[in-house]
Amino acid sequence: MSTRIVVDPITRIEGHLRIEAEIRDGKIVDAYSSGTMVRGFEIILKGRDPRDAWAFTERACGVCTTVHALASVRTVEDALKIAVPPNAELIRNLMFCAQYLQDHVVHFYHLHALDWVDVVSALKADPKKTSEIAQSISNWPNSSPGYYSDLQKRLITFVESGQLGIFANGYWGHAAYKLPPEVNLLGVAHYLEALEWQKEVVKIHTIFGGKNPHPNYLVGGVPCAINIDEANAINAERLAYVGTLFDQAADFVNKVYIPDLLAVAGFYKDWGAIGGGLPNYLAYGDLPMNGYGDPTKFKFARGAILNRNLGKVHEVDGRDAQEIEEYIAHSWYEYSDGDAAGKHPWAGETKLKYSGPKPPYEHLDVEKKYSWLKTPRWKGNPMEVGPLARMLVSYAAGHQEVIDIVNATLKQLDVPVAALFSTLGRTAARGLETVLVARWAKEFYNQLLANIKNGDTRTFNKDRWEPDSWPAEARGVGMTEAPRGALSHWIVIKDKKIENYQLVVPSTWNASPRDPKGQMSAYESSLIGTPVKNPDQPLEILRTIHSFDPCLACAVHLYDEKGRYVHQINTF
Amino acid sequence: MNKPLTMWEYADLNGVTRRDFLKFAGWIAAAAGLEASAIGSVVHAMDTKPRLPVVWFHGQECTCCSESFIRSSHPIVSDIVLDKISLDYTETLMAAAGHQAEEALHNTMKKFKGEYLLLMEGSIPIDDDGVYCCIGGRTMLDIVQEAAADAKAVIAWGSCASNGCVQAAKPNPTGAKPLHEVISGKPIINVPGCPPIAEVMAGTIVHLLAFDRIPQLDGLGRPKAFYSRRVHDTCYRRPNYDAGLFVESFDDENARRGYCLYKMGCRGPVTYNACGAIRWNNGVSFPIQSGHGCIGCSEANFWDNGPFYQHLASFPGFGIETTADKIGVVVGVGAAAGIAAHAISTNIRKRKLIQEEIKSSTESDAKGGA
């Protein structure tokens, strides 16, 4: 017999996501992923000034803030043939790095950790032992027995207050939690430390972009001017601030995040064989060392991997109408020429057409349309995007730093290469690339200082700023790697206005519904085979879905095979 | 269920001395801009109150408000979440998911009926029966109307919940509405901005906790403490405006000297927010300091008041003392009048320089520039 469960809302994500899954004999045999919120950005952008598009699209996501702004300015620059000055490229890289550092750490501790760390178990920990464990894996200073003992007291007081706040109704005590109480206490301590730390590294955005979330970008460069002899510009004080923040970030990543990640992973090695899903991976690559126009000199490589064949990296071209296409066979949209065909984003259409059940509803009609996400495909293939895809593509492309860190980690955890293709692999890849990004940030930072020292302070190219200098019609594509994966925008400019604008975002690749051929996208595919010990507490679903770091809100409810709420028996 | 602890009992259990507790109460009073004589009432409030139950909803939004909230430096957010409020429902941070998450919400709504604070992040789509935002199979409209009915007070976080923000920009494809258009009968505090400044969000909550009443609001429901001044009037580059010193192009010599960004489209003159006073991320900078004009993100309809790089056609020449209540929402028309009107209303010493500036500005406008 099978049980149909629904998780809605899926929490600890950005946005609104719903998962419906079919469970038989303790394992998921079918799964459906639905985005349940839409805003219509592509419709709103029509007719506007292309130079404003970054601000609109930046608001697509406030968790991975900046990434849409970056994709957008690149899209417009591609259309108008604008090359930005080297300093602007470097400052964009620094903002990119700051975003990864903040976002990945927050994901690990605040969005993902509670899937592995049992907060209630931490109440039973021996703080002295926690201290010994902490000191054995890292020389991070906050590690004395007294530190953990104080924290534990604070936790006990919190629980005894009877108001559990964000920790209420967690799956505490679930059999799938395997960490000893002492490691759980360590996890809770760093949950709180990371919460305080994350507000620091984003100040790099504030220095260059004026605020965070949602710092300012600019078509043609960056808005901040450099003048080392002026209080009102990027000067030595501002640059020193940036350097210190990156040093502190690298410290936190190397002394807290990575030791914790490896310690926790050691207890959950079985998750190296769960949640693999699709065998195809796509990365647009990013962090240009020689300008955005030269993808061969990106820190993160561009390319696609099919069937987990790491011996071959396929080239990816966003301009080729045959490569990236979006389908709506199972999405609440309609195309002017029917719902079966795929459309390249330059010819993309966005017409909302809801055909799902009238709310309140208990379940979606998954045989028909069931999501607000379109379904993108690369040469017809469903692709996983994100940290794992980035690391695999760079690994396969022969990037030595990536190869070294991946191999060293596999060896340290004593797991085979195949363990990469899993829930654990995804979570580990995110940590490893954070180490690299922290390292690369300092390279870009030193390069920026060297440029300024050599007298180059340019941050903006004004040649095609004025609309009078634009062609009557132009098309562009801008690509980047959001923390959550490959992100691209496409624009068609006509008569100095936006004629068409399309976004294909990481969670569209990963969380989309099936395509017309019935092929699943990454979330759905990765859930197949995932064990669920207790359908009323589907902790395992959260682990795999959170390993992607979803950028939309999920919701989960439990149904039996007739679609009846199972959970009604234990509520109210 | 145990009786919730008061803030003093809680602090006492945590080993905080009475002396430190009183100092903390004094700090809260200072942060909220109170006279020393008010500290007594803060202490009393914190002695007698359990942690305030709070539910935080997400409608059509990008979660930038939640992200901004966790950037708060005073108080820091872990202290707010663990010690000052009881954040019983928030899709961004809560451990529970699915029906356990909904159960947590309903427990709070039942147990603390009439006592909980409702925070709304995001707008609410009302077209086509609200199908454009559903959670657990219910529409956001349905969920928020139910929860608001028994809330003690309501805060609309950010521009989405305060004025609709980006999804309500033309043509507003989903019928996105701010909170005050879909609920009634409850006090609503609007805290606009995309997102609002972290310390403004935390400060609004601290105000409620410390004084057990909503802060003074302006005509648009915004706390006066943070939204009574134009960015223009608190901008450190304002003297450049008054002196007629303007950036003419990004990264030009004037930009490198930090001149006024008015001609680059800065919305500071028509935007009420605390960016110039409090600044962002613990006072590190704000958009103008980092070289980009204000885009007016805390004002209603700012997305449709563009393009962003076209400078304001004009705005009434009112002085620094004028507050949002007296002026209301300002939208300008008629190009060159702006600077001229402002020049007349401002006490300027460098009159000659400004006259020249107006002349050249008028000429460039006539050519269709800026």
Contact B103 A37 (CB under 8 A): no
Mean pLDDT of chain B: 82
pLDDT of residue A256 exceeding 50? yes
Going by C-beta distance under 8 Å and a sequence separation of 6 or more, which residues neighbour residue B256?
A225, A226, A227, A230, A233, A457
pLDDT of residue B204 exceeding 80? yes
Question: Please, which pLDDT band fits residue A319 given cuts at 50, 70 and 90?
Answer: very high
Is A64 annotated as catalytic? yes
User: Do strands A497-504 and A485-494 pair parallel, antiparallel, or not at all (unpaired)?
Assistant: antiparallel
Q: Rounded distance, CA A405 to CA A433, Å?
A: 9
Q: Rounded distance, CA A474 to CA A79, Å?
A: 5
Nearest Cα neighbor of A164 from B183, B82, B115 is B82
Question: Please, which pLDDT band fits residue B343 given cuts at 50, 70 and 90?
Answer: very low
Same fold yes or no, B51-192 and B231-366 = no
Question: Please, which pLDDT band fits residue A182 given cuts at 50, 70 and 90?
Answer: very high
pLDDT of res. B312: 78
Helix (H) or strand (E) holding B202: helix B198-211
pLDDT of residue B331 exceeding 70? no
pLDDT of res. B28: 58
The DSSP output letter for A112 is I
pLDDT of residue B87 exceeding 70? yes
pLDDT of res. A456: 98
pLDDT in tens, A337-349: 999 999 999 999 9
Q: How far is CA A498 from CA A333, A494, B297, in A?
A: 21, 6, 22
pLDDT of residue B225 exceeding 60? yes
Which of B30 and A135 is assigned the larger pLDDT?
A135
pLDDT in tens, B250-302: 999 999 999 999 999 999 999 999 999 999 999 999 999 999 999 999 999 99
Please provide the size of chain A in residues. 572
Contact A195 B78 (CB under 8 A): yes
Burial class of residue A139 in the structure, from the number of CB atoms within 10 Å of its CB (0-12 exposed, 13-18 middle, 19+ buried): exposed
Burial readout B67-99 (b: 16 or more C-beta within 10 A, e: otherwise) = bbbbbbbebbbbebbbbbbbbbbbbbbbbbbbb
Contact indicator for A265, A424 with CB cutoff of 8 Å:
yes
Which of A551 and B2 is assigned the larger pLDDT?
A551
Which of A220 and A16 is assigned the larger pLDDT?
A220
Tell me the residue ranges of DSSP E strands in A222-368: 281-283, 286-288, 298-300, 303-305, 324-327
pLDDT of residue B222 exceeding 70? yes
pLDDT of residue B132 exceeding 50? yes
Q: Cis peptide leading into A376, omega within 30 of 0?
A: no
Among A22, A61, A92, A488, the one annotated catalytic: A61
Q: Which of chain A's residues have a Cβ under 8 Å away from the Cβ of B305?
A: none
Nearest Cα neighbor of A220 from A67, A372, A92, A45 is A92
pLDDT in tens, A518-538: 999 999 999 999 999 999 999
Q: Rounded distance, CA A106 to CA B322, Å?
A: 42
Is A554 annotated as catalytic? yes
Question: Please, which pLDDT band fits residue A172 given cuts at 50, 70 and 90?
Answer: very high
Contact B99 A556 (CB under 8 A): yes
Listed by number, the residues of chain A in 91-130 with a beta carbon closer than 8 Å to a beta carbon of chain B are 110, 114, 119
pLDDT of res. B169: 96
Question: Please, which pLDDT band fits residue B82 given cuts at 50, 70 and 90?
Answer: confident
Among A399, A524, A554, A557, the one annotated catalytic: A554
Question: Please, which pLDDT band fits residue B349 given cuts at 50, 70 and 90?
Answer: very low
Question: Please, which pLDDT band fits residue B3 given cuts at 50, 70 and 90?
Answer: low
Most A CBs within 10 Å, among B2, B14, B52, B67, to test the A interface: B67
Q: Does B180 touch chain A (CB under 8 A)?
A: no
Which pTM was predicted?
A: 0.89
Q: Rounded distance, CA B229 to CA B285, Å?
A: 18
CATH number for region B51-192: 3.40.50.700
pLDDT of res. B318: 42
Contact B64 A213 (CB under 8 A): yes
Among A4, A12, A18, A68, the one annotated catalytic: A68
Chain centre distance of CA B293: 18
Helix (H) or strand (E) holding A190: helix A181-201
Contact indicator for A177, A121 with CB cutoff of 8 Å:
yes
pLDDT of res. A2: 85
pLDDT of res. B370: 31
Mean pLDDT across B219-238: 96
pLDDT of res. B36: 53
Least confident of A137-141, A481-485, B15-19, B151-155: B15-19
Nearest Cα neighbor of B261 from A92, A54, A224 is A224
pLDDT of res. B290: 98
pLDDT of res. B342: 47
Going by C-beta distance under 8 Å and a sequence separation of 6 or more, which residues neighbour residue A459?
A85, A87, A88, A91, A221, A222, A223, A224, A225, A226, B250, B251
Across the interface, of B133, B170, B297, the residue whose CB is closest to A36 is B133
Q: How far is CA A480 from CA A96, A276, A504, B14, in A?
A: 10, 24, 11, 47
pLDDT of residue B369 exceeding 50? no
Among A72, A121, A422, A507, the one annotated catalytic: A507
pLDDT in tens, A27-66: 999 999 999 888 988 999 999 999 999 999 999 999 889 9
Question: Please, which pLDDT band fits residue B37 given cuts at 50, 70 and 90?
Answer: low
Q: Does B170 touch chain A (CB under 8 A)?
A: yes
Nearest Cα neighbor of B230 from B270, B277, B288 is B270
Coil vs helix vs strand at B125 = strand
Across the interface, of A162, A225, A372, the residue whose CB is closest to B255 is A225
Going by C-beta distance under 8 Å and a sequence separation of 6 or more, which residues neighbour residue A240?
none
Contact A354 B132 (CB under 8 A): yes
Is A214 annotated as catalytic? no
Q: Does A147 touch chain B (CB under 8 A)?
A: no
Going by C-beta distance under 8 Å and a sequence separation of 6 or more, which residues neighbour residue B338?
B269, B311, B312, B313, B314, B315, B332
pLDDT of res. B79: 87
Distance from the B37 Cα atom to the nearest Cα atom in chain A, whole angstroms: 31
Mean pLDDT of chain A: 93
The fold of A2-316+382-570 is Cytochrome-c3 Hydrogenase; chain B (1.10.645)
| ipTM for the whole complex | 0.93
Helix (H) or strand (E) holding A35: strand A27-35
Q: Rounded distance, CA B303 to CA A55, Å?
A: 9
pLDDT of residue B338 exceeding 80? no
The fold of B231-366 is Cytochrome-c3 Hydrogenase; Chain A, domain 2 (4.10.480)
pLDDT of res. B311: 85
Question: Please, which pLDDT band fits residue B325 given cuts at 50, 70 and 90?
Answer: low
Mean pLDDT across A136-143: 97
pLDDT of residue B236 exceeding 90? yes
Question: Please, which pLDDT band fits residue B27 given cuts at 50, 70 and 90?
Answer: low
Is A224 annotated as catalytic? no
Going by C-beta distance under 8 Å and a sequence separation of 6 or more, which residues neighbour residue A91?
A208, A222, A224, A448, A459
Domain ranges of chain B: 51-192, 231-366
Contact B62 A167 (CB under 8 A): no
Nearest Cα neighbor of A23 from A38, A36, A7, A9 is A7
Q: What is the DSSP string of A449-483?
A: HHHHHTT----B--TTTSGGGS-SEEEEEEEEEET
Q: Does A202 touch chain B (CB under 8 A)?
A: yes
Compare all CA atoms of chain A with the CA of B140 and give the residue at the minimum distance: A37
Q: Which two tokens stand for residue B83?
A: 């010690």
Least confident of A167-181, A253-267, A356-370, B18-32: B18-32
Nearest Cα neighbor of A542 from B284, B100, B171 is B100
Contact indicator for A287, A296 with CB cutoff of 8 Å:
no
pLDDT of res. A508: 92
Across the interface, of B129, B194, B198, the residue whose CB is closest to A358 is B129
pLDDT of res. B354: 47
Question: Please, which pLDDT band fits residue B13 given cuts at 50, 70 and 90?
Answer: low
Q: How many CB atoms lie within 10 A of CB A453?
A: 9
For chain B, counts of helices (H) and of strands (E): 15, 9
The upper half-sphere exposure of residue A160, i.e. CA atoms within 13 Å in the direction of its Cβ, equals 13
Listed by number, the residues of chain A in 388-417 with a beta carbon closer than 8 Å to a beta carbon of chain B are none
Contact indicator for A542, A17 with CB cutoff of 8 Å:
no
The residue type at A10: I
Q: Rounded distance, CA A371 to CA A515, Å?
A: 12
Q: What is the DSSP string of A141-175?
A: S---HHHHHHHHHHHHHHHHTT--GGGTT--TT-T
Task: Count interface pairs A-B at CB distance under 8 A.
Answer: 365
Domain ranges of chain A: 2-316+382-570
pLDDT of res. B351: 47
Across the interface, of A8, A169, A224, the residue whose CB is closest to B103 is A169
